[in-house]
Amino acid sequence: MLNKYPLWKSLMVVFILIFGAIYALPNIYGEDPAVQISGKRGLDVTASTLDAVKQQLDGANIGYRSAALENGQILIRFSNYENQQNARDSLVKGLGDEYSVALNLTPATPEWLANIGAVPMKLGLDLSGGVHFLMEVDMKTAMERAQTNMIDTFRAKLREEKIRYKRVSESGTGVEVVLRNIDDLEQAESILKRVDPGYVFVDNEDKLSLKVTMSEQKIKETRENAISQNITIIRNRVNELGVAEPLVQRQGQKHIVVELPGVQDTAKAKEILGATATLSFHMVDQENDLMSAVNGRVPPGSFVVYDQDNRPVLLKKRSILQGEHIVGANSGRDQQTQQPAVYVDLDAAGGDKMSRGTKGNVGKPMATVFIESVATGEKNPDGSLKFDKQLEVISVATIQSRLGRSFQITGQPNPAAAHNLALLLRAGALIAPIAIVEERTVGPSLGAENVQLGLQAILWGFALVLAFMMFYYRKFGVVANLALAANLILIVGVMSLIPGATLTLPGMAGIVLTVGMAVDANVLIFERIREELREGKSVQQSIHHGYDAAFSTIFDANITTLIAAIILFAVGTGPIKGFAVTLSIGIITSMFTSIIGTRAVVNAIWGGKKLDKLSI
């Protein structure tokens, strides 16, 4: 029978629409202004802290919806922004410097929806408010680190192959390898060339040394890695501290853009992102005099670093291990002394380095150096920021046995400090220091205004299309309007389901465009049905041929638009991506609602019946 869907197909359409509606539903509940309280430097937030917070808010006559301890943080919800701001000011004074009090926005989704994973769409910075940072990566340090790794690798390879050398040291932007025997030059060059094809080798005239530099391609790769790895580490760091779904993306040659929608406290965000904590392990120099070094006579190959009590320690410059090899870190206590400790796990390469470095130094002291790079605010001649590297010895311990991929370090003053250090190391040590060169805060009121204006644009476009379709196509126009409403619901539902999808102001423009495009398919179908009717075919044949004949045209037009949207998403950034996401989703959902959805409704109302005329 013409124009009759089997039951399973009709049920499928109903199921998809109900499913989309359920997952779009959380968006009508909005978000509550909230205050988030967490401990600084690893300080635990407990139930007693929650009780103290409640007492302080009650004493200040500040009303709140709820206060709960969630995932080691206190989350307090308010009914308006005024109470939120007043609560923050009061809690900052009452809790002191030991706690971080951050403004936030948290979904007001009912519990039954949250239990099935239904959450509202993530709104971009321009709609929800939040903080925006432009961060600059210190490429000079990245290149210096690559050069240091080259030196360490060359030394290890030459020792492994038992080739004697006088020194492997820096030489301008490259590395100079000086051998002890002229006969070893060719063999050494052959071995070192296998380390990395991106190195360029030049034999010096003395036939006893090599000059090794990085090729242009290798330099480019090193810079690219510094950016991409820092982006990954920043994402890990933000997620580790509870600020989920940030926008972290590259901008230009040495900049990273970080946007945290819903976060209104720049101080906490800067604390999270600006930390450049890493570790370096060095042997203590016991052969030279410490006081002579402190007075300025530092022996070659050594340097002076001060510990937490401002006591000097003379260390070997050559590091046993750098922090980029750390893959895990947890805080605890030393089993023998019960002092705070950090348990460190290394990757395979780091384990090999630590094993080689400690093999011949059992019974000797090794220092753990905490390194932090801080932007000075000044600029280098090339316009890049200057960074000041701050070093501090956090522990000096005697190597009891050869170390491997897992070991512990002590010397932290308290468990909170050990916890904080472990957290930063676990989140990752930045490949190169970064500095915030621009910060911007978008207030929630401005974001709400953008949402309101965007919704007005969508509703006006929606209303005008509805009016036109009802006037021009009558009852079939009502069917098209139902499909259009279902399309909007599905767009919102899909956007809410996709992890990481963010609705921005340009994304709302994409939805407005989709509203207009969504009815194109129905216009083509309805006009084809009219043509079939004018040619004298029956109503059922006209409906059947109208949908079938128009399908290929609709499919081709939407596929070409979808390809353009995918290209925009692939090569675009920021606002362009937001526009491309909603446009792509809208194209897919509109094809479903305008072809399959309207066909189901038309079949249910007019299909299989003997009709003499059609309201179209």
Write a three-state SS string for 145-172: HHHHHHHHHHHHHHHHCCCCEEEEEEEC
CB 269 within 8 A of CB 131: yes
Statement: 31-107 belongs to CATH 3.90.190.20: no
CB 248 within 8 A of CB 258: yes
What is the predicted pLDDT for the residue at 150? 84
CATH 1.20.1640.10 domain residues, the chain: 7-26+450-606
What is the predicted pLDDT for the residue at 89? 83
What is the predicted pLDDT for the residue at 362? 84
Total length of the chain: 616
Tokens of 88: 């923050």
In whole angstroms, give the CA distance from residue 264 to residue 457.
27
What is the CATH topology of the domain spanning 275-439? Gyrase A; domain 2 (3.30.1360)
**Other CB atoms within 10 Å distance of the CB of residue 413:** 12
Name the 3-class secondary structure at 346.
Answer: strand
Tokens of 121: 């769409």
CATH 3.30.70.260 domain residues, the chain: 31-107
* pTM score above 0.85: no
10-residue block means of pLDDT along the chain (616 residues)?
A: 80 92 89 79 74 89 87 84 85 77 79 86 76 83 82 84 85 84 83 84 79 88 82 69 63 82 64 65 89 88 87 89 74 76 79 84 84 67 69 80 78 69 62 76 67 80 85 88 91 86 82 81 89 87 88 88 89 78 90 90 85 78
Tokens of 356: 């080689």
CATH of 140-219, one of 1.10.8, 1.10.150, 3.30.1240, 1.10.3470: 3.30.1240
What is the predicted pLDDT for the residue at 375? 61
CATH 3.30.1240 domain residues, the chain: 140-219
Q: Amino acid letter at 484?
A: L
Name the 3-class secondary structure at 339.
Answer: coil
Statement: 7-26+450-606 belongs to CATH 1.10.3720.10: no
Question: What do you get for the CA distance between the two ends of the chain, in Å?
Answer: 22
CATH 3.30.1360.200 domain residues, the chain: 275-439
What is the predicted pLDDT for the residue at 115? 86
Q: Which residues contact 297 (CB under 8 A, 6 or more apart)?
A: none
What is the predicted pLDDT for the residue at 304? 92
What is the predicted pLDDT for the residue at 576? 82
What is the predicted pLDDT for the residue at 500? 67
